[in-house]
Amino acid sequence: MTIHGVLFDLDGTLADTASAERDAWPALADVIEARAPTVDRQELRQRYNAVFERHWSDFLEGRIDFGGYRWNRLREAVAPWAELDDRLFEAYRDEKRQSIELLRPFDDAVGTITELRAAGIRIGLLTNGPSWLQRRKLAVTDLARELDSIAISDEIGVAKPDPRAFHLAADMLGCEPREVAMVGDSPAYDIAGAIDAGLAAAVLIGELGFRVDGAVAVRRLREVPAALGLSPQPGAARRTAR
pLDDT per residue over 148-184, tens digit each? 999 999 999 999 999 999 999 999 999 999 999 999 9
Amino acid 86: pLDDT? 97
pTM for the structure as a whole: 0.91
Phi/psi region, residue 236 (left: phi>0; alpha: psi -120 to 50; beta: rest), is beta
pLDDT < 50: residue spans in the chain: 237-242
> For position 241, what pLDDT does the model report?
45
What are residue 181's DSSP bridge partners?
Answer: 6, 201
CA distance 72 to 6: 34
Nearest CA among 206, 219, 169, 178 for reference residue 4 = 178
Which whole-number Å values give the CA distances from 202 to 33, 192, 213, 216, 228, in the listed order?
42, 8, 10, 6, 9
pLDDT given for residue 235 in this prediction: 56
- Is the distance from CB of 9 to CB of 186 less than 8 angstroms? yes
Residues 44, 32 contacting (CB under 8 angstroms): yes
HSE on the CB side for 17, CA within 13 Å?
A: 14
Contact, 122 vs 5, CB < 8 A?
A: yes
